[in-house]
Amino acid sequence: MARIVQKYGGTSVGSVEKIENVADRVTRAAEAGSELIVVVSAMGKSTDQLVGLANDITEHPSKREMDMLLSTGEQVTISLLTMALLKRGVEAVSYTGGQAGILTEATHGNARIKEIDSERLTNQLEAGKVLVVAGFQGVTEDGSITTLGRGGSDTTAVALAAAVGADRCEIYTDVTGVFTTDPRYVKKARKLQAVSYDEMLEMANLGAGVLHPRAVEFAKNYEVPLMVASSMVEETGTMIEEEVTVEKNLIVRGIAFENDVTKVTVAGLPNRMDTLPKLFSILSSNGVNVDIIIQNQYDEDHVNISFSITQCSLKETVACLEQAKNELEFEHLYHEEDLAKVSIVGSGMISNPGVAATMFEALAKNEIFIKMVSTSEIKVSAVVSEDDMVMAVEVLHDAFKLDEVHEEQAAQLV
């Protein structure tokens, strides 16, 4: 008997009708004989609304109370879905994260799962119950409710799948799978049959919103086969697994992009051993998250250091650097806003030289100026002007022929 964890996101349970639709789908899976855990998000935009309520009371809500508040969103969904299942004659029972045995660290608002005591869940599964579990939440050792960070219900689903040894984890959402790039921006975007954990992890971290990065990390570490599919249309989704056998010859599998990137340049820093550690410890102690870093020496005694941050941390960054101007001994501070990061991702890059060259040529041919570059084994990111972002993605989508299905060639290779 297959043991399956299904997860339905906020849009998929956004109204009573949609909850009834989910109940139909769960009923069918239960009738087909699977053991089922169903993880759900809060209905529609209700988490945002709860955040709004807190902000109406205070600008700085207590983190503990915030978790207490936000966790109620998912509780609404688990009880309603369970009622809908009971109405259909399915033996279902709902659990909060804590009741499901999800133990987390005490970091309110962004807690990591430490451990899952799955005994209750496995007993109930073996007794033939369908378990409906609230996503995005857990409890600390002393019983305080925590949440796992926005979008964290994916992580709950994958973590439970690992804990109960599920055969697979199915993430149902408002898109039909993982695409070569965001179909809302690029018409030619194509749904992929499969991607590897590492590729998905890069794409999720680079801003492809389909899956929470921590969920992918969990799936990779515990080798949980993941599937992403639509909760509305009956269509095969995308598999995320270790070995991707379909379209093996796709060197670049996807293009991720995000805007709101800002480039900061600290110019005229002393060319000394302690410059880099000083600069970046000031940034980190002020909570500034830095992405790409570039250093260049322009004369014997001086270097310029540029780095990228998200637009929202610009104020903080400028303030803390200006304050440390004497300590750091720099001459000027510049920044450039309204930039975007466009990244090509694919495990095939490791063994194929020339991928970056193709990328740069394609962008240059279309007069898209690259302001910063960073690479890893399986990705190349370029920072460009925000106005060029969508064009850059389209150009690269064409350059790497991502709209073509590479199945036949893949079949010939094996």
Report whether 343 contacts 381 (CB < 8 A).
yes
Max CA separation in the chain (angstroms): 78
Show the binding pattern over residues 108-147: x = contacts Mg ion (CB under 5 A), - = does not.
----------------------------------------
| Nearest to ligand ASP of 41, 118 (CB atom) | 41
Please enumerate, by residue number, every residue annotated as part of a binding site.
7-10, 47, 74, 173-174, 184
By CB atoms closer than 10 A (0-12, 13-18, 19+), residue 160 is: buried
d(CA 60, CA 41): 25
Closer residue to Mg ion in complex, CB, 9/14:
9
Q: Which amino acid is at 213?
A: P
- Shortest Å, Cβ 154 to Mg ion: 6
CB of 152 to ligand ASP, least distance (A): 5
- Residue 256 beta carbon to Mg ion: minimum distance, rounded to whole angstroms: 16
In which order are the strands placed within the sheet that holds 137-139? Answer: 113-116, 102-104, 137-139, 145-147
Q: Name residue 107's amino acid.
A: T
Rounded least distance, CB 67 to Mg ion, Å = 18
Strand partners, 173: 230
User: Using CA atoms, how far apart are residues 200 and 194, in angstroms rounded to an integer?
Assistant: 10
Shortest Å, Cβ 74 to ligand ASP: 6
Q: Which does 150 bind (CB under 5 to 8 A by kind): Mg ion, ligand ASP, none?
A: ligand ASP
User: Residue 213 binds which entry of ligand ASP, Mg ion, none, with Cβ cut-offs from 5 to 8 Å by kind?
Assistant: none
Closer to ligand ASP by CB, 172 or 400: give it.
172
Q: Per CB under 5 A, which of residues 1..60 are in contact with Mg ion? A: 9
| CB 147 within 8 Å of CB 136 | yes
Q: How many CB atoms lie within 10 A of CB 401?
A: 12
| Neighbour count for residue 17 (Cβ, 10 Å) | 8
Nearer to Mg ion, 9 or 213 (CB): 9
Per-residue binder mask for Mg ion (CB under 5 A), 223-242, x = binder: --------------------
Q: Which residues contact 401 (CB under 8 A, 6 or more apart)?
A: none
Q: Which does 42 bind (CB under 5 to 8 A by kind): ligand ASP, Mg ion, none?
A: ligand ASP
By the criterion CB under 6 A, which residues form the site for ligand ASP? 9-10, 41-42, 47, 73, 135-136, 150-153
What's the closest the beta carbon of residue 199 comes to ligand ASP, in angstroms? 22
Q: Is 151 in the site for Mg ion (CB under 5 A)?
A: yes
Which C-beta is closer to ligand ASP: that of 41 or that of 94? 41
Is the Cβ of residue 22 or residue 305 nearer to ligand ASP in the bound state?
A: 22
Contacts of 325 (CB under 8 A, 6+ apart): 333
Residue 389, contacted partner among ligand ASP, Mg ion, none, CB below 5-8 A by kind: none
Residue with tokens 């093996």: 248
Q: From the centroid of its chain, how far is CA 158?
A: 13
Question: Could you list the residues that contact Mg ion (CB under 5 A)?
Answer: 9, 151
